[in-house]
Amino acid sequence: MRSALSENQRVVISGAGPIASVGIGRKDFLKGLREGRVGIGACERLTDTAGFAEVAECWDFAVEDYLISKKTYLDRCSELALAACALAFADAGLVWSELDGDRIGLCLGTAYGCLEALTNHSARVQTKGLRFGSPMIFTHAMANSPTALAAIEYGIHGPAGTFCAGSISAACALEFAFRRVRAGDADYVLAGGCEALSVALLSGLAGPDKLEPDFVPGEGGCILMLERMDTAAARGAEILAEVASVGLAVATEAKPDAALDAACRQAGLTDKPPVFAAPAYGHTFGASMALGICAAIGGLDSYASGDCVAVMGRSSLSDIHGPAAAIIIRRVT
């Protein structure tokens, strides 16, 4: 067993690839937030929104703008993952083909995975019989297929994983990625989340008592590039923020902030940092905490160097108790 771990390995975010209704790419996304761009509106891509009058759809997103080669088929969730990775590489000033694939990792979170593909496959099975599913669509319906496709696309042979823990999925991915960089298992780890709107998802959420009245479902993706601070500094990368800690814990009535408490302990903070309030671009489920981090990076400008801010989330949409996460980032100048 690894007998020891260096505590001096500071981990930073050196690139971000957000895709959201308010903007695509870090600069456009943050500009959209600052300008108060409206990220909520009528759904254009789906034929049935199960009564949701408004959604946060990535209206301007076209995967063709980001792919290395043309693909026969991609679920929307995989499209978002592939494009978010491309944006993160570019934002970090890294060219994937020039890197050692064994030293790149990929950790992706998604609450529901590729529901559109799964729905298509299952509809065939249920209406025509077991022999009439689609093997091609089935492979694209697996929850790990966005990660697998991104690994194939960018030659990522290092540590990899897909995390499905509801709306803290991206935080789970970031926690694992944070470990990989600190342990020196990879030089660069892409980490974040993706989620796509689909008829099956919206229909499944449309219960009468499950959600708050102003709940707006959304889609999006956000991949962050994590690397060690010393290597980022050595290559002259723009350091967007330091990841101080990622806390995972179960929120209970007695300990509603258990995840933030855990994150503070890990970061060695005695006082809780301010919690960044998520802007109004809909609830993006498995992508939400990664997009939250990206948005918080934009808000760090108003902080002094060394100051921290937290992004919090919980796995369940309907229950305030249960698995929860808190990510603390620190401004580095």
Partner 1 sequence: MESTLNRVAITGLGAVSPLGVGTNALWEGLLAGRRGLSKLTKFDPTGLRNEKAGQVNDWRFDPAQFSLTQPPDEATQFLLTAAAEAIADAGLEDRLCPAGEPGPNVGAVLATNFGGSSSWESYMSGLLAAQPSPTTFEQFSFDKALATVCATFAIGGPCSQLSMACASGTAAIGYGAELIQSGQADVVLVGGYDSLAPSILSGLSLLRTITDDDLYPFSANRSGTIFGEGSGVLVLESLERARKRDVRCYCEVLGSWQNNNAYHLTAPDAGGAGMARVLRGALQAAELSPDELDHINAHGTGTEYHDVAETEAIKAVLGPAAYDITVVSIKGAISHLMGAAGAIEGIVTALSVFDQIVPPTTNYGEPDPACDLDYVTAGAREQRMEYAGTISAGIGGDNACVVLGRID
Question: Which 171-210 positions form the footprint of partner 1 (CB under 8 A)?
Answer: 172, 175-176, 179, 185, 199-200, 203-207, 210
Contact flag: residue 4 with partner 1 (CB under 8 A): yes
Q: Of 83, 70, 77, whose CA–CA distance to 29 is shortest?
A: 83
Question: Out of 12, 86, 141, 289, which residue is the one contacting partner 1 (CB under 8 A)?
Answer: 141
Q: How far apart are CA 68 and CA 61, in angstroms?
A: 16
Among 63, 93, 99, 134, binds partner 1 (CB under 8 A): 134
Is the Cβ of residue 3 or residue 333 nearer to partner 1 in the bound state? 3
| Interaction of residue 5 with partner 1, rule CB under 8 A | yes
Q: Which of residues 296-315 bind partner 1 (CB under 8 A)?
A: 315
Of 240-269, binders to partner 1 (CB under 8 A) are 247-250, 252, 255, 258, 262, 266
Stretch that binds partner 1, among 19-27, 79-87, 112-120, 299-307 (CB under 8 A): 112-120
Among 15, 166, 279, 298, binds partner 1 (CB under 8 A): 166
- Nearer to partner 1 (CB atom), residue 62 or residue 123: 123
> Long-range contacts made by residues 258-267, C-beta under 8 angstroms, separation at least 24?
258/324, 259/312, 259/324, 259/325, 259/326, 260/310, 260/312, 260/326, 262/326, 263/310, 263/326, 263/327, 263/328, 264/328, 267/308, 267/328
Q: Whole-number minimum distance, CB 232 to partner 1, in Å?
A: 21
CB of 24 to partner 1, least distance (A): 25
Which stretches of 165-219 are assigned E, i.e. beta strand?
Answer: 188-195
Helix (H, G, I), strand (E, B) or coil at 219: coil
Eight-class DSSP state of 36:
T
Is the CB of 38 or the CB of 252 nearer to partner 1? Answer: 252
Contacts for 62 with CB less than 8 Å, ≥ 6 apart: none
Q: Where does this chain touch partner 1 (CB under 8 A) — which range of 11-19, 21-29, 56-64, 154-162?
A: 154-162
Indicate which single residue of 40, 46, 63, 161 sits in contact with partner 1 (rule: CB under 8 A).
Answer: 161
Give yes or no for residue 222 binding partner 1 (CB under 8 A): no
Q: Residue 189 CB, nearest distance to partner 1 (Å)?
A: 12
In angstroms, the CA 257 to CA 65 distance is 41
CA 167 to chain CA centroid, nearest Å:
10
Strand partners, 226: 13, 189
Complex with partner 1: residue 133 or 273, whichever CB lies closer = 133
The residues, any chain, with a CB within 8 Å of residue 112's CB and separated by 6 or more, are: 77, 195, 198, 201, 285, 286
Q: How many residues bind partner 1 (CB under 8 A)?
A: 87
140 binds partner 1 (CB under 8 A): yes
* CB 258, CB 250: distance < 8 Å: yes
Please report how close the Cβ of residue 8 comes to partner 1 at its closest, in angstroms. Answer: 6
Our finding on whether 68 is near partner 1 (CB under 8 A) is no
Q: Which two tokens stand for residue 313?
A: 């989330």
Q: Are 29 and 23 in contact (CB under 8 A)?
A: yes
- The stretch near partner 1 (CB under 8 A) out of 28-36, 90-98, 169-177, 296-304 is 169-177
212 near partner 1 (CB under 8 A)? no
Q: Is 216:279 a contact under the CB 8 Å cutoff? A: no
Could you report how far apart the first and last alpha carbons of the chain are, in Å? 36
Of the pair 38, 136, the CB lying nearest partner 1 is at 136
